[in-house]
Structure 1
Amino acid sequence: MTNMKLPDNRLEKILFLLKKRGSLSTKEFSRIFHVSEVTIRNDLNELSRQGLVIRSYGGATIAEATSVKRLSIKSAFAGSSSAELIGEEAAKLVNDGDVIFLDSTPCAKALAEHLGEREHLTVFTNSIPLASRLTALGQLTVYLTGGKVNNETAVVSGGNLDGFLDKHHITKAFVSCWGMTEEQGLTDARVEEAEVKKTFISKARQVIGMVESSRWGVVSLVSFAAIKDLDIIVTDDGADDAMLEGITRANVRIQKTVQAVKINAFHNSPYEYYDTLRTDAEGEKTYTGQPGRGKKIAFANGLASEPFCIDVERSFYRNAKLAGFSPENIYVFDNEYDERKALINAEAVIKLKPDIFVEFQLSAKMNNIIAAKMDMNHIPILALETPIPAAPFVGVNNWQAGIMAGDFAADEIRKKMGGISAIDKIILIQLSIGSEINLFRTEGFAASLAAAFGEEVEEKVIREDCLSNTAEAARESMARALSKCGECGHLTVTTINHEAMSGVISALKRAGMWAPGRHILVSHSCDEIGRAQIEEDSIDGSIGYFPERYGRYILPAACALLSNKAVPPYTYVDTRIITKETLHAFYPDRIDE
């Protein structure tokens, strides 16, 4: 994503809401986005001009072809470089006349791109975006499995596949996984999708696993196949001896990608160097060419004592060393979530004259000042979590994360409360100091609930701003919100992180309104505090950002930048919904005694 101007973001949000509800009035959009109805009419006119919506009196409806073409979930197509290579290699196993199954993974998407020359090929898939892409390739027969559509991933599951497949013969099933071990086999994070894969595996004459080497040793929520159930495993050249030996013991054939294929895969990418480093980082390998050797790197962390920042800093150090930076040339500062401290640190960084500077600082105003100072001193800067003018960004897609949180909360409201009528108030604990970008986490949450339950949602919303990113500030904000609630039985609350959620829980306890299960509470990042809140049943779920992996995104971008190579303007980290049921799949070391 290369354009973050607010009108363009609002257009994408309008499309999202129309996709969810079919139609909305100008007045409803105005209330959701806090802009005038004239502004909304202009937005709708622009979308109508592009053929994406159909104007109606007082509002608009989604154009028939828009929902899949423009709004297919990006994560369904977001893959690593190794996934691209594996998909290309696996495509060599597809013959003319085959009847194959492709799952919804990045490896399957990469494989699909190489099927255009096949003749008389039939493809089954449970991915709506992939089915759409396959039909555009030409001479293919495409079947989309039936069932319920997951709004987050645009993947279909839960249909009666056995009866459907009794009429067809599947030649080959191509499946990928979230994790693979000798004991648990191939595992997935979503139960419904695992069941779809299990069904096609049982029906196929030949089963091909597409497994990135980084998935070895990882266990997710549910197993869908033993290694021995596969005939071939296609993997990348990062597969270590333990992985290869485990596959061999199961009598499964191994087909590996080769370095020559990797070079060709990056040939058309403007980010070839960056892509190479990202592949190294995901495999936890020494970075190609050791770009940090003899260079200095500085990192100003948000708040060194915060669990999220602790995980980020550890990952930063680990990847800086893999990139070739020597310990004496790695400088780390603590901004203490204080813009004055951030300015002091920036002045110290300028005196150090590093080759690259990574800044994690919440104030948009101060980021503009720091950016100007770094530019004057010819120090390239990388923005972490909060955008900085003219700097590449690494962090969360806040709007998407907010939508994910809202979708999850809507499901919990239906399941636990029976519907939105049981919720008295919806409280958004916000942090405006972090610019409108961070507000997307909470406003996306509200927009998703509005899409799910209608205009009555906005009537229930209370917005309270935090003066700082601390639990104490959030407690005070929540106390102000509660004072506006009157007699409330059930609340739905979201915060931008778990420090703030700690403050929310504290305020509820002080007000005598605390009881696990009484309210729907959803937060962001799933750091150490968040994981404890989930285990204790204090909250319903969190959007996991996996801060312990942030270095895998930061250092490739930083190294490409200091090497004068092209860097994506926006690099978004992986985000997943984490609940008590799925926590141990993502963090297997956290197992109750």
Structure 2
Amino acid sequence: MKSPSKGAHSVNGTKRGYTIQAVVRAASILNAFQSTSEVLDLRDVAARVGLHKATTFRLLETLVETHLLERAGKQGYRCCIQPARTKRFRIGYGSQTSLLPFTATVSDSLVVAANAANVDLMVLNNGLSPRIALQNADAFVSEKVDLVIDSQINIGVAAQIAVKFSEARIPFIALDIPHPGAIYFGADNYKAGRIAGRHLARWSAKNWKSGPEQIMLLGVDAAGPLLNARLTGVLDGINEVSTFGHNIPAHHYDTKGGQFEATLDIVRRHIRRRRPERALIGAVNDSTALAALQAFREAGIERACAIAGQDGSLAAREEMRRTSSRLICSVAYFPESYGERVIRLALDVLKHKPVPPAVFVQHELLTAQNVDKVYPNDTWMKSPPERL
């Protein structure tokens, strides 16, 4: 019997004399791509397969010629077939709500990122309801998803949701509201609040000689102290820059999940009762900030307020571009970038890579002075493309 050729490939520990090394190398290059959306350059592929760059280049070009790979840009390559070894993970995503612009943007970015990573994303809407959030958790367990990304604000059911996933041995990532046993991804709420509070105080010192006579804090009590830490940060930021914060009344209101209509009604009633003359307003998100602004505007006393939002939403950015608007700032969280980062974090968890217990997003103060610099493409995004 003819002995296996030198350098023959091993399958299950057995030398196979009929293995063709060129085919093995070509297959290793195809398997270097984790999905059909991943783009790699020559250096990346050579490093992953452990071949010399010259050999890798010849193989890449051959695979392009045979339509198994395609060029992506000047130096990149993309795989045209789904590698058989790649596991298609199924991830459950519990969206907080479709009513808030911020969470809608997060959802859109997650869907795009999951598709690009060849992840099957099962999307359910928690609808700002603790009952529905619990039902959705049961659905994810029943469907045996590999991991859950949960965005729900009702801290009262956080422990129950955590137990469901723990007993099912399903890892999960909590967006914006920490949950027991979950990896946290989202805002550093207190830090974001302090950024806004400091700007409110500086604006007040510059524009109101007599200083503010009241502070309004628009929160979401269902989320407990975690989301409302933004408002604690607002107060501390005001006091850090000025001395008036300790000496004027602060009025805290629950906005029923941070929704526009509920906040509008609350602020209207506050205006009728308190007749504010110089009110600093710290809002838990941009929806409540814009609702407060509308209430003051309706009453004809817009100049009696100065409002700080949170999220850096498109609507808030448009408002800050209006001349003399009293939405004087918002803290940007860049929800459009959530998807790629969260899906990457989820895949690291599923591949048993080390991950931190908390991943915080970037925060940046947006004002009328810098909004065009931070978001230069807003006008382009709103305008329909010209016909060619």
TM-score (norm 2): 0.72
- Alpha-carbon distance, 1:506 to partner: 3.2
2:215 matched residue in structure 1: 426
Specify which structure has the bigger relative contact order, considering alpha-carbon pairs within 8 angstroms and separated by 6 or more residues.
Answer: 2
Q: Is the 8 A contact 1:534 1:541 kept in 2?
A: yes
Structure 2 Cα separation of the partners of residues 409 and 357 of structure 1:
38
- In structure 1, how many angstroms separate the alpha carbons of the residues matched to 2:161 and 2:219? 24
Aligned residues: 307
Residue 358 of structure 1 and its aligned partner are, at CA, apart by 0.3
State yes or no: 1:494 paired with 2:282: yes
The alignment status of 1:571 with 2:365, answered yes or no, reads: no
Write out per-residue CA displacement over residues 505-526 of structure 1, whole angstroms, 9 at most, x where no aligned residue.
233244x2433x4421110001
Q: Is the 8 A contact 2:198 2:240 kept in 1?
A: no
- Name the SS of the counterpart of 1:333 in structure 2: strand
SS at match of 2:217: strand
Q: Name the counterpart of 2:336.
A: 548
Q: Which runs of 4+ in 1 moved over 6 A?
A: 289-292
* 1:502–1:561 distance in 2 versus 1, CA, 3 Å: same
Asked if structure 1 preserves the Cα contact closer than 8 Å seen for 2:205 and 2:211, the reply is no
1:484: Cα distance to partner?
4.9
Q: From 311, 314, 318, give the equivalent of 1:532.
A: 318
- 1:590 corresponds to 2:381: no
8 A contact 1:544–1:575 mirrored in 2: yes
Match of 1:447 among 214, 219, 236: 236
Alignment of 1:311 with 2:100, yes or no, is no
The residue correspondences of 1:169-568 to structure 2 (distance < 5 A) are 293-325=87-119, 329-418=120-209, 421-454=210-243, 456-485=245-274, 487-510=275-298, 512-515=299-302, 517-536=303-322, 537-568=325-356
Q: Counterpart amino acid of 2:253? A: E
**C-alpha distance in structure 1 between counterparts of 2:300 and 2:179, whole Å:** 40
Q: Alpha carbons of 1:478 and 1:292: their partners in 2 closer, same or farther (altered >3 Å)? A: farther
Report if the CA contact (8 A) 2:296-2:305 is conserved.
Answer: no
Distance (whole Å) between structure 1 residues aligned to residue 167 and residue 85 of structure 2? 24
Find the aligned partners of 2:159 and 2:300 in 1 and give their Cα distance.
Answer: 42
Partner Cα separation in structure 2 for residue 290 and residue 356 of structure 1: 21
C-alpha distance in 1 between matches for 2:226 and 2:247: 20
Instruction: Supply the distance in 1 between the matched residues of 2:330 and 2:84 (Cα, whole angstroms).
Output: 36
Amino acid at match of 1:435: G
Q: What letter matches 2:169 in structure 1?
A: H
Q: Which runs of 5+ in 2 are unaligned?
A: 1-38, 48-76, 384-388
Structure 1: unaligned runs, 5 residues or longer? 1-237, 241-255, 261-284
Residues 311, 547 of structure 1: 8 Å contact kept: yes
Q: Quote the Cα distance in structure 2 between the aligned partners of 1:338 and 1:589.
A: 35
Distance (Å, rounded) in 2 between the aligned partners of 1:358 and 1:545 = 18
Contact 2:221 2:254 in 1 (8 A): yes
Point out the more displaced range, 534-543 or 428-437: 534-543
Amino acid at match of 1:405: A
Q: Give the whole-Å Cα distance in 1 for the aligned partners of 2:126 and 2:196.
A: 28
Whether the aligned pair in 1 keeps the contact of 2:196 and 2:365 (CA below 8 Å) is: yes
Cα drift, residue 400 of structure 1: 0.5
Shift of 1:480: 4.4
Report if aligned partners of 1:430, 1:465 keep a CA contact under 8 Å in 2. yes
Alignment partners' CA distance in 1, 2:356 and 2:253: 34
CA distances 1:483-513 after superposition (whole Å, capped 9, x unpaired):
552x432211111111112321233244x24
Q: CA RMSD in A?
A: 2.9
| AA at the equivalent of 1:391 | A
3-state SS of 1:543 partner: strand
Identity %: 22
1:86-119 CA distance string (max 9 Å, x none): xxxxxxxxxxxxxxxxxxxxxxxxxxxxxxxxxx
Q: Provide the rounded CA distance (Å) in 1 between the counterparts of 2:355 and 2:84.
A: 17
Q: Is the 8 A contact 1:308 1:528 kept in 2?
A: no
Paired residue type of 2:106? V
Say whether the 8 Å CA contact 1:404–1:577 is kept in structure 2.
yes
Letter in 1 for 2:150: E
**How far did residue 339 of structure 1 move?**
1.4
